[in-house]
A and B are shown apart, each in its own frame.
Chain A
Amino acid sequence: MPVWQLLAVFVALILLTALTVLQASLGLGNLELILSLIIATIKASLVILFFMHMIHEKPLNAIIFLSSFVFVALFIGFTLMDAAGYRDSLEYQQIDSTPPPAVEHAE
């Protein structure tokens, strides 16, 4: 990595940080989350590609590392899939009270 490349990546990262702070102050609502995640991902890509030398890395190592993000996506994606299905609060009484034994019902 030549020095100019390291410095260019650093300057780009700082500018993107400024951009993400700026867009957060615009009050874009839901768009803000998406935008800041996109900017963060661009920053992460710059760090991975240049600071972590991923562009020169052996394909096997690159596949191993990048596959972790596939599993993170699966993990979070599957968790969020039924996020709307939860109750707002625990219903303690239903959990605590045991149903009467079946024998008593039979009588």
Chain B
Amino acid sequence: MSHEHTSAHGAGHHGDGHGGHGDHGHLPFLAHHFDDPEQQFDSGKLGIWIFLVTEVLFFSGMFCAYSLYRSRNPEVFMFASQFLNEALGAFNTCVLLFSSLTMAWGVRCAQLRQKNGLVLCLALTLGCAAIFLGVKAVEYTHKWDIGLLPAGSYLAQPEVPVHHEGLSPWLINLSIVPGILLVAFAVWLVITFVKGDKRMSEIAGTLLATAACYFLGVFVGLKFQEAEASSSAHAAHEISVEHDGDTGSHEAGVTADEHAQGQPAESATSESANDHVSGTTGTEAPLKEIEAHLVSLDAPKVVPGAPLDAMVNQKGGAGLFFSIYYCMTGVHALHIIGGMVVMVWLLVRATKDQFHEQYFGPVDYVGLYWHLVDLIWIYLFPLLYLIK
């Protein structure tokens, strides 16, 4: 395993006397300000590691906000985390881990001058990144639909989870750009086929597959979301049945009572709203009553000492959690998009067969960046999705 590595380094003519710069003529990949390929590679390596340090420190600001807020308000995280879809998070984790595998494999292919292998690995990595974004789009738009927004726009959530039927308009809007790209790449692929340009159709085909993978991600995300919705609807039904059975000792019943007592000014309306909601969950709770309940949970009426959920379920509570959530996952998603752009550049160069055992630096550097993005998700997933 180490011989590949040393061969990569040793293949340069380090140490064989570089008195002049005249011997660079046969090394087209060597920039003129470097003595030899090894120096060029090591300089790039040092540069990318320092860049990764700045990335770690950049994300650490968000992790700091997260840990400060969580250490002070663990109950907010317990409450808000239930709105994140654990299955989708786990699925995305696996997708990202797989893309890391293909990226590492791609670096290996570049080192061994396996051009087709490298193109395939880059294509798989791009596809995984697109699937990740597709799933993320479903997650985001579902939250926007039901008012799980950053602090300023957060809507208090009703006890009965709301589910929107049909496609979210947000999702359709978000999918416009990938849709346009899908069509454009398809047209481009056809043109390159007609022209008979094999290299270009390789690139266009990969890009088309990537755009299609976004929609695959959306499809998978919607399927997961549906499964979650039907299972939580079952759970809500069971809870409401239990709730009707014994009002005194059951935890939910107690919470509802305390909820009313904690808000003396609102006690009458909020109690009646609670009764309405709990009484009708099994059947179909009319939207008006859910809205009435929503109003009763609204921020200004929450007083210290009120039951936990009402305290948490407002802009300054769960709303702040979603600010942190969108900030962290959003910046992470931007990094994914950035990584995809750089990978397309690699793909174009790989089809030109520019990487080999003496020159694979760019693939290696992009790989390191990609692994760091994966690394950040490895921490984000348990810290955001898996809070119980």
Please indicate the chain A residues that have their CB under 8 angstroms from the CB of B50 in the complex.
64
Number of A-B contacts (CB under 8 A): 128
Does A103 sit at the interface, judged by CB under 8 A?
no
Does B115 sit at the interface, judged by CB under 8 A?
no
Partner of B375, one of A5, A21, A24, A48: A48
Find out whether the CB atom of B72 lies under 8 angstroms from the CB atom of A24: no
Please indicate the chain B residues that have their CB under 8 angstroms from the CB of A50 in the complex.
104
Please indicate the chain A residues that have their CB under 8 angstroms from the CB of B379 in the complex.
37, 40, 44
Q: Which residue of chain A is the closest to B53 with respect to CB atoms?
A: A68
CA distance A67 to B201 in the complex (A): 44
The smallest C-beta distance from B111 to any residue of chain A, in angstroms, reads 9
Find out whether the CB atom of B1 lies under 8 angstroms from the CB atom of A44: no
Partner of A72, one of B46, B60, B100: B60
Number of residues on chain B facing chain A (CB within 8 A)? 48
Does A106 sit at the interface, judged by CB under 8 A?
no
Please indicate the chain A residues that have their CB under 8 angstroms from the CB of B233 in the complex.
none
A-B contact pairs, 29 of them (CB 8 A): A1-B107, A6-B105, A6-B108, A10-B97, A13-B97, A13-B100, A14-B94, A20-B386, A21-B90, A37-B383, A40-B382, A47-B375, A47-B378, A48-B371, A50-B104, A51-B100, A51-B101, A51-B104, A56-B5, A61-B45, A68-B52, A69-B56, A71-B57, A71-B60, A75-B57, A76-B64, A79-B68, A83-B68, A83-B71
B residues lining the A interface (CB < 8 Å) = 1-2, 4-5, 42, 45-46, 49-50, 52-53, 56-57, 60-61, 63-64, 67-68, 71-72, 86, 90, 93-94, 97-98, 100-101, 103-105, 107-108, 367-368, 371-372, 374-375, 378-379, 381-383, 386-388
